[in-house]
Amino acid sequence: MIKGAMAKNNSSSGATILEIQRLSTEDGPGIRTTIFFKGCPLRCAWCQNPESISIRPQLQWMDTTCIGCGTCIDVCPEDALSSGPEGIIIDRHLCTSCGMCSRECPSAAMKMLGKTWGLEKLVAEVVKDRVYFEKSGGGITLSGGEPTMQANFTALLLKNLKKEGIHTALDTSGQCAQDVLGTLLPYVDMVLYDIKEIDPDRHREFTGVSNEKILDNLVYLCRYMETHETPADLWIRTPVIPGAKAAGSCAPSTTSAAANTSVLIWTGHSKTAPS
Ligand code: SF4
Ligand code: SF4
């Protein structure tokens, strides 16, 4: 098991969000707003967003914009910052992520990655683009990181978005407890399900965990879709990483695994199993 991988946020009142991306066209149908949650249970060798791994907000220092004024060191209440030959040193054991240094930095060289959002404010923020969703057949996608790691908040957010009449998509690796998935699905119109690798040994090698739970949850999801109105659509996605795997080997094995569940794959807006 990955050290620290089980750290979760069970709060219903707030979630750590890395980024809210508007006008997204790759995270489901139409024009969407994608909410990237912080916290990920996988450690993919090819990860392009390591800042999304920790569930906590994190401090980032950028040497290219730092003017060396020392303000951040002076204002830090925890004495977590010091100056070294290569610039500002952050003692992450002392840092409490209070954000004071970031707020006081005159050149935006100290930046907090991730912000805690309350439910009401987040809903109000993301429904601003409702007109784009309605015109394009889009909606809101919860992604990450892994949104199921902050499941209580994610469930409430989805529920509120459904009340607003907005199409919802859940982008998940499936690396979560089955009951967590079951809690979210009633409020999800579509699932984007990431399968990184079918071979269990290679999956562990590339991501740090077995794919057993992920494949079990995929079967559970498909059975759920057979007996419920929502989710109506499922997109199974697999990354093609040169050196780690090739399109020729991974895509067919993923399709084959999906077909072996005796259900699958739904596309478009109707539940139609492939022939
Ligand atoms: S975030 Fe707060 S505790 Fe952490 S280094 Fe900055 S001022 Fe210090
Ligand atoms: S306050 Fe900002 S600009 Fe000044 S030393 Fe710290 S990081 Fe650099």
| Whole-prediction pTM | 0.83
User: For residue 10, what pLDDT is reported?
Assistant: 78
Q: Is 192 left (phi over 0), alpha (psi -120 to 50) or beta?
A: beta
Q: What is the number of other CB atoms lying within 10 angstroms of the CB of residue 29?
A: 19
Q: Which CATH architecture best describes the domain 58-113? A: 2-Layer Sandwich (3.30)
Helices 119-126 & 151-163 angle (0-180, nearest 10): 50
Asked whether 25 and 64 are in contact (CB, 8 A), the reply is no
Domain 14-53+116-259, CATH class in plain words: alpha beta
* Ligand 1 center–CA 130 separation, angstroms: 37
Distance from the CA of 68 to the center of ligand 1, in angstroms? 16
Q: For ligand 1, atom 3, name the residue with the nearest CA.
A: 95
Residue 245 C-alpha from the chain's centroid: 22
Nearest to 19 by CA among 166, 117, 95: 117
Contact 56, 37 (CB under 8 A): no
Structural domain spans, the chain:
14-53+116-259, 58-113
Q: Residue 29's pLDDT is what?
A: 96
Task: Choose which residue among 65, 105, 111, 112 to substitute to test ligand 2 binding: the one with the highest number of ligand atoms within 8 A of its C-beta.
Answer: 105
Q: Probe ligand 1: pick from 101, 111, 116, max atoms within 8 Å of CB?
A: 101
Q: How many CA atoms lie within 13 A of 7 on its CB side?
A: 13
The pLDDT value given to residue 138: 98
Instruction: Tell me which residues have their CB closer than 6 angstroms to ligand 2.
Output: 61, 66-72, 88, 105-107, 109-110
Phi/psi class of residue 75: alpha, beta or left (left: φ > 0; alpha: ψ in -120 to 50)?
Answer: alpha
Query: Does 58-113 match 14-53+116-259 at the fold level?
Result: no
Residue 248 has pLDDT above 80, yes or no: no
The residue among 8, 2, 5 whose CA lies nearest residue 148 is 8
CA-proximal residue: ligand 1, atom 2 (nearest): 98
In three-state secondary structure terms, 22 is strand
Average pLDDT rounded to a whole number, residues 18-40: 96
Quote the pLDDT of residue 51: 86
Q: For residue range 186-212, what is the model confidence (pLDDT) as tens digits?
A: 999 999 999 988 889 999 999 999 999
**Residue 168, H or E segment:** strand 168-172
Which residue CA neighbors atom 7 of ligand 1 most closely? Answer: 76
The torsion angles phi and psi of 85, rounded to 5 degrees, stand at -60, -25
Task: Give SS3 for 14.
Answer: strand
